[in-house]
Amino acid sequence: MNKLKFGGYFKVILLGLLTLLFQNRAGAEITFSASVDKKTVAVNESFTLTVTVSGDMANVPEPQIPSIPDFYIHSSGRSQNFSIINGKISSSVTFNYVLTPKFIGKKQIPPITLFHDRQKYVTSPIEIYVTQPARTSQPQTGQPQPVKPAKTRPGTAQPRERDISRDIFITAETDKASAYVHEQINLTVKFYTAIPLLGNPEYVAPQLKGLIAEDLPPIRNGETVINGVKYYFNEIRSAMFGIDEGEAMIYPAVVKAQVAEEEDVDPFDPNFFFQKFFAIPSARGIPYQVKTVPIKIKLKSLPENNRPASFKGAVGDYIISAEIDRKEVKAGEPVNFSIKINGRGNLKTVTAPEIGEMPDFKVFDTMSSLDITKHNDIVGGRKVFTTILIPKSAGRRKIPAVRFSFFNPETKLYQELQTSPMEINVLPGDAAVKQYSFFEKQAPAGITPVSADIHYIMEKIKPHFGVKSALKISGSGWINLAPALILAFSILGMQIKNARMRNPLLLKYKKARSNAEDRIEKAEELLEKDASSAAGILYSSLIDYLSDKLGADIGAITLKKTLELIKNDYPGIDDYVLSEVKTLWEGLERLRYAPSEALQSGVSDMITRYTTLLDLLEKGLKK
């Protein structure tokens, strides 16, 4: 008994170590870095911060940018690319940000963090040296120079006599009062000042109702004359996109500043800008706040007339193209089918076009990559949807045309585009490809399976055991109690059997884990001799386990539909568990194309992940 307990503890400890080892291995697959295009910058200039995330995955997590109090920061877009080589997916995403300094001196961009698979990744802090601008330069971003008041005499300090509300104010306006849902609306916020400020003003972006926003960097600055008074201004632009029909709201944008209590230096002094403008710590100031008025936007629904059947909500102006990475493959080998959508609009809301029926191929879930551009304050870019296709048999196989439609708010018309159909020459597959199967091999029909079935039934009946037992107990003193005991156990057994027959789904649900563990053990036994078959056992086991738990044929639906079914039947399940199911499923499918030298280690990793996942699923899939 103690031996048994020790063995159980040893397995638990070993499983924990393997899990930690796998997690560390998974964490090492992420590469995370941050860099800037220049480390010395004038206070009135901008620079670019580039954050890059890459790894062996389709969906790269987004970094978390911390508060950076010494800089104004705006997103300037992102670019993404991924590759699929021998079934291995690698992806890289670059996030770009435009930063503008607020203060002169040695400043720091703090560490940027990223979380993936419960692991935390951190970049190193970046030192930035902010210098004074040239005397002939324009005012720095966020720090307008003071206006030269009229009728002043050099060398004489002048008190401020004007109404401060005329010296410092803020405006906001949009280029449209009404727009279609998902149509771009540009918001421009301008902060004006004709007086010096102590330190840098603090800008608080407006809250939004019914809208989502994209920054349009960089911050512009300049000077203008209004009613005979010279002002310096900063201009911040954003792109807005309506979410749903109705009235949207842009709430007030706010600027908080410290206004000099009195002007005790000559504004014509050539050093005035540096004496007053860069915030002397001991200077006295008056807190002052300005804000814009709220702006209402009417969002119109898209017209129903002439809406194409292929329309899925895209708004903008796009073009579409499609390509395959190979025109000739062997049966069972993967082909990457990519659909590219380029143009102007909020590509984040563009979903994958429907691909027609392709009975000659096995179709896997679609992955996407996104590049965002913001040229001339117009949001656009490129989105690529890549689907892995596996031809089932040799011959000339066709990929049908793909239709994509969008609503163009400029022409107020729907437009439907389609790609050209493609053809692939599929050669007969070789044995090396055929051996990679996710499904356990079925015994061929014939005499052997029938014999096995008959033998199985004979083992269940075992009449000889009953005869021997009867002979042994026939001489016992309690022989008279035997009929009553046998009858009681028989009735109990019949009741249990009848209950199971009345609810076979419940029986499958309860036995799902034990069946899965048996097949994991079988895969472990085959790992060194036949890693391909071990991978097939694991894949079949996962499909059967989920089928038994959900009471549905999971093998007949896609991964995406399976995750939706789990979430629908068990709404309380943790999203992390669903992500682990997705990772395991996709990992087992990719093993089909893994090189033989990497197959064994890959299957070993999947065994560890699957074993750990079973514990999580048993908790999450409780009825």
Transcribe 510-552 into DSSP letters: HHHHHHHHHHHHHHHHHTTT-HHHHHHHHHHHHHHHHHHHHTS
pLDDT higher at 333 or 445? 333
- Range with the lowest mean pLDDT among 39-43, 216-220, 484-488? 484-488
3-state secondary structure at position 197 = strand
If pLDDT is split at 50, 70 and 90, which confidence band does 189 have? Answer: very high
Cα dihedral angle (311, 312, 313, 315), rounded to 10 degrees? -50
- Range with the lowest mean pLDDT among 244-258, 293-307, 525-539, 592-606? 592-606
Question: What does the pLDDT average to over 584-613?
Answer: 77
The candidate with the shortest Cα–Cα distance to 75, out of 206, 191, 235, 239, is: 239
If pLDDT is split at 50, 70 and 90, which confidence band does 483 have? Answer: low
Q: What is the pLDDT of residue 612?
A: 84
Greatest mean pLDDT range, 182-186, 202-206, 386-390: 182-186
Question: What does the pLDDT average to over 81-101?
Answer: 75
Q: Express as a percent the part of the chain with pLDDT over 70.
A: 70
Greatest mean pLDDT range, 206-215, 264-273, 276-285: 206-215
**Pairing status of strand 71-85 against strand 88-101:** antiparallel
* pTM score: 0.56
Q: Contact 85/334 with Cβ under 8 angstroms?
A: no
Q: Contact 254/291 with Cβ under 8 angstroms?
A: yes
DSSP conformational letter for 64:
B
Crossing angle for the helix pair 504-526 and 531-550, to the nearest 10 degrees: 170
Q: What is the mean pLDDT of the chain?
A: 77
Structural domains for the chain:
33-131 (2.60.40), 164-300 (2.60.40), 311-429 (2.60.40), 435-453+500-623 (1.20.120)
Residue 253 confidence (pLDDT) above 90: yes
Question: What does the pLDDT average to over 603-622?
Answer: 86
DSSP conformational letter for 375:
G
Give the DSSP H/E element, type plus range, for residue 360.
none
The two tokens of residue 511 are 């036995």
**Pairing status of strand 178-180 against strand 295-300:** parallel
pLDDT tens digits for range 7-20: 554 444 444 444 44
Encode 111-144 in three state secondary structure: CCEEEECCEEEECCCEEEEEECCCCCCCCECCEC
- Range with the lowest mean pLDDT among 25-39, 76-90, 441-455, 592-606? 441-455
pLDDT tens digits for range 497-545: 555 545 566 777 888 899 999 999 988 888 888 887 888 889 889 988 9
Residue 171 confidence (pLDDT) above 90: yes
Question: What does the pLDDT average to over 158-187?
Answer: 85
The two tokens of residue 8 are 């159980």
Residue 292 confidence (pLDDT) above 90: yes
Burial of 46 (0-12, 13-18, 19+ CB in 10 A): buried
